[in-house]
Amino acid sequence: MALEICHHGFKPWQALQAHQDRMQPGSFGATATFVGTMRDFNEGDGVQSMTLEHYPGMTESQLQAIIDDAHQQWPLQDVLLIHRVGDIEPGEPIVLVACWSAHRAAAFEACRHLMEALKSRAPFWKKETLTNQSSRWVEKNTAGYSSH
């Protein structure tokens, strides 16, 4: 298990490769991952940059609790969670969640659950600077379990 609050840019696919290189090959059959990336638009406005604030101490303990909870609910071989904080530009990754398991159902469901739990429980806050130079706090996260 690895959990990281990242104060600089990170490369999710390289991080996955590096993490997996340390795992036992052949021991897992399913890897489900999610990467959240900063977009250059939100709610109809162009976004120039973003600052991600967090609550040092609580963020880590909440994320750890969320990961522990997932391990209780699903048979997971491993979990990797990286979350960016600080100043971010469009196109840069914000969050990476990856779950390794023997079978796909556990990996998919745990990965989804981790993201929903992170979005509702982990103390992070986004402030956007728009292309018109005004800034605003993102007021709430988008819906999780509905898309059709």
Partner 1 sequence: MTKTLGSIRQCVHNENMPVKVKLFASMREYLDLNETEIPIENIETVADVWQAIAGDKPMPENTLCAVNLEHTNEAAGISDGDEVAFFPPVTGG
Q: Which is nearer to a second copy, 56 or 145 (CB)?
A: 145
Which of partner 1, a second copy, none binds 7 (CB below 5-8 Å, type-dependent)? none
Residues making contact with partner 1 (CB under 8 A): 36, 52-55, 57-58, 61-62, 83, 94-95, 104, 115, 118-127, 137-141
- Closest approach of Cβ 90 to a second copy, in Å? 3
Q: Where are the alpha helices (DSSP H) in the chain?
A: 12-21, 58-73, 104-121
Q: Is 131 in the site for a second copy (CB under 8 A)?
A: no
Residues 33-62 that bind a second copy (CB under 8 A): 33-41
Count of positions on this chain that bind a second copy (CB under 8 A): 45
115 bridge partner residues: none
* Residue 7: strand, helix, or coil: coil
Angstrom CA distances, 67 to 8, 26, 86, stand at: 23, 23, 23
Q: How many CB atoms lie within 10 A of CB 30?
A: 17
Options 61, 64, 73, 135; binder of a second copy; rule CB under 8 A:
73
Q: Three-state SS across 80-122?
A: EEEEECEEECCCCEEEEEEEEECCHHHHHHHHHHHHHHHHHHC
- Separation CA 114–CA 64 (nearest Å): 11
- Closest approach of Cβ 54 to a second copy, in Å? 19
Report the interface residues with a second copy, using CB under 8 A. Answer: 11, 13-14, 16-17, 20, 25-41, 73-74, 90-91, 102-109, 111-112, 115, 142-148
